[in-house]
């Protein structure tokens, strides 16, 4: 894969596909981690005299212009972080975008409006996507793929534009790929994987593939209740995916055959409602009261999980262990994050919410070997799938 070091960019218009899909609340950015992560590539290109045109998506406006998904606040924050003006185009490939691209000075930066305001960006129809890709590609002379969080999507800005322009991987994608290789080739063992988050169905593919690769799989978060139920336990009103019970049972059996250790929580923080101020108590994992819902792994489980991480040499963690957004249910996630740090292993955190949890709980990001900016993308890579955005950069 070519990197930006292999490109001659001075005085040329470079389209950078970044991942700037930050969480917003009432129009304000609540976590600017992804903007920060995209800075090194943008700064390197500027320093070499490129005219940098950044494009990205925000949320799911589904091909329509929806002001609440405008990238305008991101343009402002990007400008602050770069310490430079960022020209914001009020459309994606229209007059405003063309003017912004044409008016750039060497070293200048422009940001286009949300790619997903255009139906062509995500279209399943190759011709419709291609027509949009033509217009996007026409804004620039070179393409740099740096939006790791989107490389698993066959979208115009990810897959079709690099096939129309000379291209290279930005620093973020290059770094992510290097890390993911360490999780799939010549892995240092023991290799432990901690999985949490809300839905089992999101993570089935990765569990499937990891059953042949990891030594231990620790399960927490909302998905744990499908596992507990599969073992025949009451889970009360906790998150449950009934339709995945058979699959989960098959995984538990396969793990036993393959000698992969599944580590499930022994206690659960069970609350009367999905609320920070709800009555809550620590209960045994096999005795969740029928009128309660599990919102975190319990303190004994936190200790158990940390102990099962302590001697690992490689750890991949995806998905919070509980509803960390509410303080009473954040302790399991804290224990696992601390367990990763204390293990001294090569530690990778994947997933937008997991990365946000690390920051929200006050951990030093540098204490982890790598925090991935792309949850879905890193999971699909670990599932063993071909990622369209990486494939396009490699060709």
Known binding-site residues for (2R)-3-phosphoglycerate equal 34, 116, 153
Catalytic member of 36, 163, 199, 249: 199
Name residue, tokens 């999980």.
305
Quote the CA–CA distance of 338 and 340 in Å, as a whole number: 5
Q: Is 303 a catalytic residue?
A: no
User: Looking at 113, 296, 353, 380, which residue binds Mg ion (CB under 5 A)?
Assistant: 353
Can residue 352 be called a binding residue for Mg ion (CB under 5 A)? yes
Query: 227 - beta bridge partners?
Result: none
Bridge-based pairing of strands 267-271 and 293-297 is antiparallel
Q: Is 63 a catalytic residue?
A: no
Q: Which is nearer to ligand ADP, 136 or 195 (CB)?
A: 195
381 sits in which H/E element: helix 375-382
Q: Please state the closest distance from residue 25 (CB atom) to Mg ion, in A.
A: 16
Q: Please state the closest distance from residue 47 (CB atom) to ligand ADP, in A.
A: 33
Q: Which does 380 bind (CB under 5 to 8 A by kind): ligand ADP, Mg ion, none?
A: none
**Segment 189-228, which members bind Mg ion (CB under 5 A)?**
none
Quote the CA–CA distance of 107 and 299 in Å, as a whole number: 52
Give the DSSP letter of residue 222: T
Q: Please state the closest distance from residue 211 (CB atom) to ligand ADP, in A.
A: 19
216 sits in which H/E element: strand 216-219
Can residue 19 be called a binding residue for Mg ion (CB under 5 A)? no
Which residues are annotated as part of the binding site for substrate? 19-21, 34, 57-60, 116, 153
Task: Give the three-state DSSP class for 77.
Answer: helix
Angle at which helix 375-382 crosses helix 171-184, to 10 degrees, equals 40
Q: Is 352 a catalytic residue?
A: yes
Can residue 118 be called a binding residue for Mg ion (CB under 5 A)? no
Q: Is 332 a catalytic residue?
A: no
315 sits in which H/E element: strand 314-318
Q: Which is nearer to Mg ion, 88 or 363 (CB)?
A: 363
Residues of this chain that interact with Mg ion (CB under 5 A) are: 352-353
Active site residues: 34, 199, 352, 376
């Amino acid at each position: 894969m070519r990197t930006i070091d292999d490109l001659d960019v001075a005085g040329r218009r470079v389209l950078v596909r970044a991942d700037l899909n930050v969480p917003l609340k009432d129009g304000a950015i609540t976590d600017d981690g992804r903007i920060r992560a995209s800075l090194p590539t943008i700064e390197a290109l500027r320093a070499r005299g490129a005219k940098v045109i950044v494009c990205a998506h925000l949320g799911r406006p589904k091909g329509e212009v929806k002001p609440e998904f405008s990238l305008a606040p991101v343009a402002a924050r990007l400008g602050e972080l770069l310490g430079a003006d960022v020209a914001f185009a009020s459309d994606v490939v229209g007059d405003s975008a063309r003017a912004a691209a044409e008016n750039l000075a060497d070293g200048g930066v422009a940001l286009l409006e949300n790619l997903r305001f255009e139906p062509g960006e995500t279209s399943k129809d190759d011709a419709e996507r291609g027509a949009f890709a033509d217009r996007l590609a026409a804004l620039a002379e070179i393409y740099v793929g740096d939006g790791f969080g989107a490389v698993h999507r066959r979208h115009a800005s990810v897959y079709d534009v690099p096939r129309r322009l000379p291209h290279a991987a930005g620093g973020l994608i290059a770094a992510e790929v290097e890390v993911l290789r360490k999780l799939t080739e010549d892995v240092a063992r023991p290799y432990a994987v901690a999985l949490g988050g809300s839905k089992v169905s999101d993570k089935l593919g990765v569990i499937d593939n990891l059953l042949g690769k990891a030594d231990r799989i620790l399960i927490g978060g909302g998905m744990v209740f499908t596992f507990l139920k599969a073992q025949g336990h009451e889970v009360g009103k906790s998150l449950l995916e009934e339709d995945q019970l058979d699959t989960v049972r098959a995984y538990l059996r396969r793990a036993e055959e393959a000698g992969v250790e599944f580590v499930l929580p022994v206690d659960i923080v069970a609350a009367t409602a999905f609320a920070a101020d709800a009555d809550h108590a620590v209960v045994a994992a096999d005795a969740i009261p029928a009128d309660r819902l599990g919102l975190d792994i319990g303190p004994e489980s936190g200790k158990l999980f940390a102990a099962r991480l302590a001697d690992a040499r490689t750890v991949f963690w995806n998905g919070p262990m509980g509803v960390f957004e509410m303080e009473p249910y954040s302790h399991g996630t804290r224990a696992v994050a601390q367990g990763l740090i204390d293990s001294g292993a090569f530690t990778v955190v994947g997933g937008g919410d997991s990365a946000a949890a690390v920051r929200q709980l006050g951990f030093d990001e540098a204490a982890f070997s790598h925090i991935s900016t792309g949850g879905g993308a890193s999971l699909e890579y670990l599932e063993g799938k071909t990622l369209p955005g990486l494939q396009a950069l490699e060709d």
